[in-house]
Amino acid sequence: MLATDCVVLVIDDSPDVHRLLAVRLKAEGLKVKSAPTGQEGLEMAEELQPAAILLDLDMPGMDGFEALRALKESPMTMRIPVIMLSGSDNPQSKVTGLDLGAVDYITKPFNIAELRARIRSVMRIHTLMRLLEQRAQIDPLTGLWNRQHLEERLAEEIEAMQRYKRPLTLAIADLDLFKRINDTHGHPAGDAVIEGFANILTNELRVSDVACRYGGEEFAIILRDTNANDAVVVLERVCAALRETRWPKHPELPVTASIGVCDDSVVRGAELATWIDAADHALYAAKRAGRDNIVAAGTRTKLAKI
């Protein structure tokens, strides 16, 4: 039995198909969401992030091939497995669908038992692939996401920001004078500080925020649906918690962080590198301002002196 919170998106212009699948797939613990057109299906796929998509080939307007191509070109939906549905048993249609990225092709009228089995198989493989991807994108020291995940996730959030006109903030944090910690107390102490800061991020950030270890003593945080001013409120808690931390083996050790922040009001382009550069420059400004600061891109003065 699959998890009860698994969502399957059915993109088909036939109401009968939607009713049939909603009833028959319920026994698999699946929630069926329906889209009657290809365009609505694309929008729902981005919003819902379903575990799988059943996509009809023959639809008016945007047909299944066009919808499949769009799904596989978007960073937000390209990893979702798609099963094509069609009343045609044309081998060339199957080849085209599979070449465009579909994982399976089922001919109507379909056998429900076979359809269930194929969906179970697709979702098992998809789950295993996602687990492997996630393990490859987790930093082993901190348990946070790594730089690869940051870049992929930030690209997705930038696209969603532009599409849905919602705010987005990127923050880059750097532990102040970290080399001095390593040189004075040794690398195990430095590792303990990195792990401790990662725990603070996990505890103080919101569920919707995405924390990543960017490299060395640098961390990146994606704050969805948040502008720079609101992000500072969240990040102030992080800096305060870090400053108040007492390290078991070195209780006298003061540790602070500087943070650079940029949001969509400053970075209007879609280039991922532009966002990272803007946050980096703001971070350097925070360092120059005396460290233990949060500075926003596009401002000449620090947003907060923690």
Give the catalytic positions in this structure: 217
CA 42 to chain centroid: 17
CA angle 12, 13, 16 (to 5 degrees): 85
d(CA 242, CA 203): 11
3-state secondary structure of 36: coil
d(CA 231, CA 249): 32
Q: Residue 185 phi/psi, 5° resolution?
A: -115, -10
Parallel, antiparallel or unpaired: strands 30-35 and 6-11: parallel
Of 73, 133, 74, 119, nearest in space to 100 by CA? 73
d(CA 59, CA 68): 12
Instruction: State the DSSP H helix or E strand holding residue 138, giving kind and residue range, or none if neither.
Output: none
Q: Residue 125 phi/psi, 5° resolution?
A: -65, -45
Residue 275: partners with Cβ closer than 8 Å, 6 or more residues away: 154, 158, 170, 262, 267
For residue 109, whether the previous peptide bond is cis, meaning omega lies within 30 degrees of 0, is yes
